[in-house]
């Protein structure tokens, strides 16, 4: 059982990496890719709690959840753009 859980955790980590990169390439938005990767890495951290010594993995899982929440809060903020509104930039280009 322990080996199976470790393999599933490894698969979740790798799936997070691959899915994040694919999402960045497809959507051209780093925030989307990072959200997807963080969700799968969170799943991997929580799966580690199923291992026999949960006392050792609990702080790691809690840290992953904190990092995920902080990153999600930072990603919700709008990206910094120039002070000029988009419409004015379009009008100036034509």
43 is written with which tokens?
Answer: 């799943």
14: pLDDT confidence band, cut at 50, 70 and 90? very high
Cα–Cα nearest to 60, from 72, 44, 75, 73: 44
Q: Is the pTM of this model over 0.85?
A: no
Region 8-14: what's the mean pLDDT? 89
In this prediction, residue 19 carries a pLDDT of 92
Give 34-87 pLDDT, tens digit per residue: 888 888 888 888 887 777 775 666 777 777 788 878 877 877 776 655 555 556
pLDDT value of residue 60: 72
Supply 8's token pair: 């599933």
| Cα angle for residues 50, 56, 62 (degrees, 5° grid) | 80
């Amino acid at each position: 059982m322990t080996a199976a859980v470790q393999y599933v955790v490894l698969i979740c980590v790798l799936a997070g990496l691959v899915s994040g990169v694919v999402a960045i390439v497809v959507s051209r938005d780093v925030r989307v890719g990072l959200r997807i990767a963080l969700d799968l890495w969170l799943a991997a951290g929580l799966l580690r709690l199923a291992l026999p010594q949960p006392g050792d993995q609990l702080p790691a899982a809690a840290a992953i959840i904190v990092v995920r929440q902080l990153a999600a809060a930072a990603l919700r903020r709008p990206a910094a753009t120039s002070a000029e509104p988009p419409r004015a930039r379009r009008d100036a280009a034509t």
